[in-house]
Structure 1
Amino acid sequence: MKVYAPAKVNLALDVIGKNEQGYHDLDMIMAPVSLYNIVDITRADQTKITCTNGKIPDDNATKKMVQVLKDRYDISNYEISIEEHIPMQAGLAGASANAAAVLKAINDIDGLQLTIDEMILLGKKVGADVPFCVVNKYARVQGIGEKIRKIECDWKFPILLVKPEQGVSTPEAFVTWHALDPLHPNLDILEKALIYQDLPFYVTHMGNALQPAAFQLVPALEALKADMEAFELYVMMTGSGSTMMGFGSKENLMQAQKELSKKYPFVKIVTVG
């Protein structure tokens, strides 16, 4: 069985604080985009996971997902092959997308009959972005990623994704966030703008609380933002980085893609929604 594992973007991100367990409580607007890894999963005598990026580390999200399922259910062994198209350390949840895709595929193949809510709880045990990747719709996402409310929105629009060579360490980004004056975007008005499909309002009010921290950790991101803005794009980072999103007219997006591809390793126009 071949399944697609879509990337996600954070259209807004706020850091509320830390909870009693020491994790950061977040408030986010998230959406899937038309950038996919392809996961080929078939029953096998032994479980084996491979990917086009090379060796699978022990803390790989797909490995963790399979083990979480094995610990709870009598599931088959699987050969899982992942064709990677989503860049790593990018804020696009490639690893979480793979884990969610495998969870849903095993649920179907082994007939586990898990509900979406049950899969969200299982996904939470693997990673903060896995629950959203299970839902894979516009959503308001809170807590550490497990509180998900779908946003009734069928809007589809193009954005430009650009990732530099450098990645951003998520733990370091949160540490740096604490040392800076906090940025708190208004997600309530942004959610309304999303529902009304009001892009001009959205791009002038959007915000990512982790962006200043990421810029401090990776100064090249500020230069990348300026490079994108030279094409009359509104620009914001997704997640903890290092991918930057460009919003604007199709003509400007295409021109930026053409020129920035000469300078950066990953440059791609995708559709949000």
Structure 2
Amino acid sequence: MTILEKAPAKINLSLDVLRKRDDGYHDVEMIMTSIDLADRIELDRLNEDRIDISLESRYVPSDERNLAYKAARAFKNKYGITEGVHISIEKSIPVSAGLGGGSADAAAVLRGLNRLWSLNIPFDELADLGSTIGADVAFCVYGNTAIARGYGEKIEKLPSPPPCWIILAKPDIGVSSRTVFGHIELEKISHPDTNAVLAALKEKDFSKMCRNIGNSLEDITFGLHPEVLRIKEAMVHAGATGVLMSGSGPTVYGLVEQQNKATRIYNGMRGFCDEVYLVRLLG
């Protein structure tokens, strides 16, 4: 029996860092939405009690450091599963890109193992388990559009954004979330108007959404990697309606309503970096 799961990437429409917690993490408020760029996860039972991972990527480990491996181990431990599983990951989401690829893979493994072993565990419980693995895993269990609070574990579903095209542009670098969060000076960072983004989603107002998207981490990543700022400036100059860095970067996205305009911007951005994608929203 083989179980297939898609693991969609996400973008942040809003990312606000509120305070540093006693445990060293930061309280955040993030509006995220799933996009039509996804890894493909394949799960097969093993008779032996072990977890095997296979994937073709020189940037992603295939051992216990992999979030998909951690998800499978956490699932087996919590529910007392003594069978093993082979996890095959076909990567399409760029690595260390601010698009939640590793978290999406972990969430897909949780959903897939639930099906593989016919446990019928509610998504709320899977999301709680996912939050012990990584900050974005709880959101990725559900997908679509939601606001995440706490360190990312408190999820509230939201209306989907107005239909649009998304151009993704990633420079040839990886960015460590831990490094970016380590540079946060709370008294200096900017704060997006999360309530305005929430209102735009409720009203299905594309222009209002694009005016108010924001990311507290942008300036930090721009300081560490000036090429990310140059990509954002190029995307703005090309005419995207809303432009923002996703997560801790380095991927920058542009939102556009018209397909022909999105295609023109996509073609233009390919001159700035190798990894450029033209995708739609999910849901």
Structure 1: which 5+ residue stretches go unaligned?
none
Q: 2:259 aligns with which of 226, 231, 250?
A: 250
Q: Which residue of 1 aligns with 2:53?
A: 49
**Alignment-derived partner of residue 9 in structure 2:** 7
Query: 3-state DSSP class of the match of 1:178?
Result: coil
SS in 2 for 1:240: coil
CA deviation vs aligned residue, 1:203-232 (integer Å, no higher than 9, x gap)? 112110000001001011111112212211
User: So what's the TM-score if we normalise by structure 1?
Assistant: 0.95
Aligned to 2:70, what secondary structure does the other structure show? helix
Give yes or no for contact 1:168–1:217 (8 Å, CA) kept in 2.
Answer: no
Does 2:220 align with 1:216?
A: no
Matched, 1:237 2:241: no
Amino acid at match of 2:262: L
Q: Give ranges in structure 2 of 5+ residues lacking alignment.
A: none
Question: Kindly tell me: are residues 228 and 158 of structure 1, through their superposed partners in 2, closer, same or farther at Cα, counting changes over 3 Å?
Answer: same
Structure 2 counterpart of 1:269, which letter? L
How far did 1:156 drift? 2.9
RMSD across aligned positions (CA): 1.6
Shift of 1:154: 6.5
Counterpart of 1:187 in structure 2: which amino acid? T
1:271 alignment counterpart = 280
Partner of 1:124: 131
Residue type of the partner of 1:214?
Answer: T
State the alpha-carbon separation in 2 of the partners of residues 179 and 143 from structure 1.
16
Structure 1 residue 264, shift from structure 2 partner: 1.2
Q: C-alpha distance in 2, partners of 1:184/1:38?
A: 35
Equivalent residue runs for 1:90-101 within 5 Å:
90-101=97-108
- Alignment-derived partner of residue 70 in structure 1: 76
Query: What is the DSSP-based 3-state SS (H/G/I as helix, E as strand, rest coil) of the residue aligned with 1:16?
Result: strand
The whole-number CA distance in structure 2 between the counterparts of 1:6 and 1:32 is: 6
For the residue of structure 2 that corresponds to 1:11, the secondary structure is strand
Count residues in correspondence: 273
Contact 1:8 1:31 in 2 (8 A): yes
TM superposition shift of 1:265 = 2.0
State the match for 2:205 in structure 1: 198
1:177/1:212 contact within 8 Å kept: no
TM-score (norm 2): 0.92
AA in 1 matched with 2:71: M
Which moves more between the two structures, 82-91 or 109-118? Answer: 109-118
Percent of aligned positions with the same letter in both sequences? 34
Offset, 1:236: 0.6
